[in-house]
Copies of this chain bind each other. A is one copy, B any other.
């Protein structure tokens, strides 16, 4: 029973107490707090005043019991922190959208082991405690998770997963194409594409460690290059713990005879070594080397990056909105939304030096 609360716990104020004090019934208190129009204004004001005096706070569990709605949605994250990616703006976009509608957000991490072991069911799924789920699970969503969600018919929206329905994602292909177009318009011809994964995608994909979006970006870039009559050029980066490798790679790319005049990067972690080595080699950025990246962060080294601004905030907002719609109509499939990144010209792209010479 609730009365076995520890010593020192605040004794919760209930509607009944307010009712007694205000000389009305509990239901009148309920209506007053809900702002019902039916009540006589004086009654309502009196109740609200007493509630204020007593420091009343509604019991969310009781409300959930009575209404069948939890007014809560849960956000699922990959427990492997190295793979997990939760930008502040994404969390904020979700949270804000929900809060504006009076919903709460709970967060949970799922480990692979939890999902592999058939006998275990993760806490979030063992209980009914939310009205729906947002899954922000970058690298290959575990099959068992999908099965569990379907079995329990939990309304779910997927963030940055490659699914035709019930999903919100960045329009990577468009973003890469746009970045490439930007460089083409500036007059670049030697435009290379560097991503933080090896060119041999398939080997990696099997291991589930490469995000599907890489392929999209590569295609967006390659297609734009070919449309301009140019040959796509991929710079390989081996993911490796030896981070000095990234510098060595960059040095190799930039000291080659046919070095690119512009590089499309995805991660800041790919762009920074490139810029650092450019500095080492005496290549001015952007004068002699243009660099464009995908990021939600304007700068990290004191230089405002030219970038495709990742729409983390919008992704969060759209995901939350879609989930709310799905909760209202659980059986409808919602066409996946693609949100375009936006070009921020920044200060790391300019016309190539060769253009001036010509």
Contacts and interface: CB of A to CB of B under 8 A. Distances in A.
Interface of A: 1-10, 12, 55, 57-68, 70, 72, 75, 79, 81, 84-86, 88-89, 91-92, 95-96, 99, 102, 104-109, 123-129, 151-154, 243-247, 250, 268-269, 272-273, 275-276, 279-280, 298-304, 327-332, 347
Nearest to A110: B99
A104 B86 contact: no
A328 B302 CA distance: 48
Nearest to A246: B302
A123 B107 contact: no
Contacts of A109: 92, 95-96, 99
Given A61-B62, A61-B64, A105-B106, 4 more contacts: A59-B127, A60-B128, A104-B106, A272-B301
A8 B66 CA distance: 20
Contact of A72 (B81, B106, B268, B300): B106
A45 to B, nearest CB: 14
A123 B106 contact: no
17 contacts: A8-B329, A8-B331, A9-B330, A10-B330, A12-B128, A58-B128, A60-B61, A61-B70, A61-B129, A79-B92, A79-B96, A106-B107, A243-B299, A244-B347, A268-B300, A272-B300, A276-B303
Contacts of A244: 302-304, 347
Q: How many copies does the complex hold?
A: 2
Highest count of chain B CB atoms <10 Å: which of A58, A68, A125: A68
Contacts of A55: 151-152
A35 B245 CA distance: 53
Highest count of chain B CB atoms <10 Å: which of A60, A96, A108: A60
A128 B59 CA distance: 5
A64 B63 CA distance: 11
A304 B104 contact: no
Contacts of A245: 302
Q: What 8 A-B pairs are tightest by C-beta distance, nearest first?
A: A2-B68, A8-B331, A10-B153, A273-B302, A61-B64, A60-B129, A246-B302, A8-B330
